[in-house]
Structure formats: C-alpha cells, structure tokens
Amino acid sequence: QYILAIETSCDETAVAIVKNERELVTNVVASQIESHKRFGGVVPEIASRHHIEQITVTLEEALKEADLRIDDMDAITVTEGPGLVGALLVGVNAAKSIAFAKQKPLVGVHHIAGHIYANRLEKEFEFPLLSLVVSGGHTELILMKEHGSFEIIGETRDDAAGEAYDKIARTLKLPYPGGPEIDRLAAEGEESIDFPRAWLEQGSYDFSFSGLKSAVINRLHNADQKGETLRPEDVAASFQASVVDVLSTKAYRAAEEYGVKQLIVAGGVAANKGLRKALVDKFEESETELLIPPMHLCTDNAAMIAAAGAVAYNQGHRSGWDLNANPGLDLEQYGNRKHSAEN
Ligand code: ATP
Ligand code: MG
Ligand code: FE
C-alpha cells in the first residue's frame, strides 16, 4: 500500500510517499527559510506564493525519486490544518485536484497528528502512549490510548516552546529560525543566569513561557543599562536550561502518572540537543520507552503526514471533495471525527 502526502501548512512545501504505513519511500522538503530570513519570521503571503511555485516540482521530484506514479497510490493525504490558511489552501487544492483527476481516496490530516506519527516511521507504537509536542505553534502533552485518538492533558497557556526560542533569538539578534541558533550557542555557554521555571499549580501539566521570555528580555535590558556584558552563549544556555527543565520534568511526571508504555517527542523543538539529552537522562531508568524522531523528521515534512494519513485511511476515514483548509482544526475533535464519521 502506497500513501502520498502533501504538507504546506507553514513554510515548507513537502511531498512524501509511505509504504505499508511505516516504510518511508521518499520525503522531499522544499524549504523557504531563505525567503523569510530577512523579515525575521514567516510572511504568510510570501509562503503561499512559494507553495504555488514549488508544489508541482516537489510532487514530480517525489514521484521520480520513488520511481512511482500517482496511479500506484492507494490514497492522497494532505494537511488540512492547523496552519496558515493561504499556505494550507495550496496543499489542499493540489491534493483535491490529484485525487479527483485520478479518482483516488482523499484524506485530510491534522498537522500535529502528523508530528506525532513521524515517530512511527522509526518504531511501532505501544499504547497507552504520551506525546510531548513541542513545535513552533504548539506545546502539549497528549495521551493516546489507541491509534487516531488524542487527549490533551496539558498545553501552553501563552507562547509555544518554539515561539519562545524564536523570540529570544530575535532579541539576541540571531537569524531566523532562532531555535537551532540558540541550541548551538547554548552548547558553548554556562548556565550562569538563574531564569524562572514556570511550574504552575501543583500537578498541572500546562506550560507557560511568557514569564521566562520577559525575564530574559529584562535581564538583557538591565545589563545594557549598567554597561554590563552578558555572553549570548550564557544567556542561551540559561534560557534553554529553564525550558528543558520544565518540559522534561513535566513529561516524566505525566508518563509516570499515566503509566504509559512510550513517551514520544514531536515537533521542531524535538531537534533540540539539550532537550534530547535531558529526556534520555530522565527516562534512562524508566519503564517507559523514550522515542525521539531523527532530526529530518522533527521539523515540518510530509512523511509524517503520510504516516498519520495512512492510519486514518486504514481506519476508514475519507474526506469529501468539499475538504477545505482549516487553520484552527482541533486535534481532539479531529480524532473523534475519525472514529465516527465517514464523509
Ligand atoms: P506547528 O507544528 O505548531 O504548526 P511549525 O510547523 O511552525 O508549528 P515546526 O516546524 O514543527 O513548527 O518547528 C519549528 C520550530 O522548531 C521553530 O520555532 C524552530 O525555532 C524550532 N526549532 C527547530 N530546531 C530547533 C532546535 N534545535 N532547538 C530549539 N528549537 C528548534
Ligand atoms: Mg517550518
Ligand atoms: Fe509543524
């Protein structure tokens, strides 16, 4: 069984093919980072235009690399949300056109379900499992009792982890995207500044990064006024220590409380070396198996959409020709819909 997937939710135009749910055949990602760099972030209009320019060549490249044709595909899957509406529309319309022209089943996929399922290309899932989703727009702890069902047990109350990284990087005048830059600097710095950790109420699995962000900005501002020089490496290391401490501690606590078989890390911030190391250390002695995706499956790609889409397809889910981009698609509702609806 071959599943084709298209992902255009943000600034990567991506097409992938997955065989028999778990075998990655091809994974083509056309990144637009260079075009957005001089604006310090993703410009939605530029993203849409790039997707339009890239979608056909990316699709052709994926098919060519796999030495397969659309006719060989069992289903066409696509990210329907969440993301930038103009960006999502390019992928959704491409998927609908291909599926309609070739009379193939069409399946809309939730972007975060994709980030989670990226891990299944490496290792089979064992339920119940807990996923720590840390990306540019999301920071969540998600409990899965079976395929395609998602229960959010904690989430950020303000900024996402990736967003915090990008904002602090901008304050430090580092290029976009800031996450990898801070990660690189942090490795060379000392955790010499004591930044706050937002533990929130006892037992809460929610997150908050806005207080930390303000603390870093204030500390830099104070240093500036006093003519004191702070090494950016130390600021990066101290900031990262706060983020990683909270993420890894809460993920570990939740994994213990829910007695999950696996803790799965997902999203762009899963590429963070500090976070990867902290989790490996925390889970070393644990009964819970830790799954961290390889670097190329952490940030946006279509392989993850194919992996999630293949399961949805095999569970019987189909999207109609009225499938639309849904920038605010809810993960729990998406999961419930998959079990009940056949549209
Ligand atoms: P979402 O998936 O929530 O819709 P997104 O698709 O924009 O958001 P991803 O592509 O999953 O997000 O991840 C991008 C984010 O990951 C950016 O904020 C980026 O800075 C961050 N990131 C990437 N590599 C690292 C790293 N090594 N350390 C920290 N953050 C990183
Ligand atoms: Mg991206
Ligand atoms: Fe993403």
Give tens-digit pLDDT for 21-49: 999 999 999 988 888 888 888 999 999 99
Q: Are the C-beta atoms of 86 and 47 separated by less than 8 Å?
A: yes
- Judged against a pLDDT cut of 80, whether residue 196 lies above it is answered with yes
Ligand 1 pocket test target in 37, 155, 165 with most atoms within 8 Å of CB = 165
Q: Compute the distance between CA of residue 309 and CA of residue 110 in angstroms, rounded to an integer.
A: 9
- Judged against a pLDDT cut of 90, whether residue 341 lies above it is answered with no
pTM of the model: 0.96
Among the atoms of ligand 1, which is closest to the Cα of residue 169?
20
- Judged against a pLDDT cut of 60, whether residue 342 lies above it is answered with no
pLDDT at 290: 98
Q: Tell whether ligand 1 has an atom less than 6 A from the beta carbon of residue 240.
A: no
pLDDT at 35: 87
pLDDT at 12: 95
pLDDT at 39: 87
- DSSP codes of every residue in 44-93: HHHHHHHHHHHHHHHHHHHHHHHT--GGG-SEEEEEEESS-HHHHHHHHH
296 band by pLDDT with thresholds 50, 70 and 90: very high
- Judged against a pLDDT cut of 80, whether residue 343 lies above it is answered with no
Residue type, 326: N
**ipTM confidence score:** 0.98
The SS3 assignment for 157 reads coil
Q: Tell whether ligand 1 has an atom less than 6 A from the beta carbon of residue 310.
A: no
Residue type, 54: Q
- Neighbouring CB atoms inside 10 A of 236's CB total 28
- Judged against a pLDDT cut of 50, whether residue 133 lies above it is answered with yes
Burial classification of residue 134, based on how many CB atoms lie within 10 Å of its CB (0-12 exposed, 13-18 middle, 19 or more buried): buried
Nearest ligand atom owner, CA of 182: 1
Q: How far is CA 262 from the centre of its chain?
A: 18
Q: Is 320 annotated as a binding residue?
A: no
Distance from Cα 316 to the centre of ligand 2, integer Å: 30
Mean pLDDT of the chain: 96
- Judged against a pLDDT cut of 70, whether residue 339 lies above it is answered with no
Under DSSP, the state recorded for 118 is G
Mean pLDDT of 78-90: 98
pLDDT at 37: 86
- How far the first Cα of the chain sits from its last, in Å, is 22
Mean pLDDT of 248-254: 98
Residue type, 321: W
**Most distant CA pair in the chain, distance:** 68
Q: Compute the distance between CA of residue 86 and CA of residue 10 in angstroms, rounded to an integer.
A: 9
269 band by pLDDT with thresholds 50, 70 and 90: very high
pLDDT at 337: 85
Q: Is 108 annotated as a binding residue?
A: no
- DSSP codes of every residue in 179-240: HHHHHHHHTTS---S-------STT---B--HHHHHHHHHHHHHHHHHTPPPPHHHHHHHHH
Q: Compute the distance between CA of residue 319 and CA of residue 296 in angstroms, rounded to an integer.
A: 28
Which residue's CA lies nearest to atom 16 of ligand 1? 268
Distance from Cα 48 to the centre of ligand 1, integer Å: 19
Q: Compute the distance between CA of residue 135 and CA of residue 302 in angstroms, rounded to an integer.
A: 16
Q: Is 274 annotated as a binding residue?
A: no
Go through the chain and tell me how many residues it has. Answer: 343
Q: Tell whether ligand 1 has an atom less than 6 A from the beta carbon of residue 272.
A: yes
Q: Compute the distance between CA of residue 176 and CA of residue 169 in angstroms, rounded to an integer.
A: 8
Antiparallel, parallel or unpaired: β 139-144 and 151-155: antiparallel
Ligand 1 pocket test target in 9, 10, 329 with most atoms within 8 Å of CB = 10
Distance from Cα 226 to the centre of ligand 2, integer Å: 37
Q: Compute the distance between CA of residue 2 and CA of residue 21 in angstroms, rounded to an integer.
A: 8
Helix 178-186 vs helix 161-171: crossing angle, to nearest 10: 80
- Judged against a pLDDT cut of 80, whether residue 60 lies above it is answered with yes
Backbone angles phi, psi at 267, to 5 degrees: 100, 165
Among 205, 218, 7, which residue's Cα sits nearest to residue 95? 7
Q: Are the C-beta atoms of 120 and 302 separated by less than 8 Å?
A: no
Q: Compute the distance between CA of residue 316 and CA of residue 331 in angstroms, rounded to an integer.
A: 18
3-state helix, strand, coil in the chain (%, to 5): 50, 20, 35
Side-chain half-sphere exposure of 73, counting CA atoms within 13 A: 31
Rg, the chain, Cα only: 20
pLDDT at 240: 98
- Lowest mean pLDDT across 7-21, 35-49, 88-102, 235-249: 35-49
- 7 Rama class: left (phi>0) / alpha (psi -120 to 50) / beta: beta
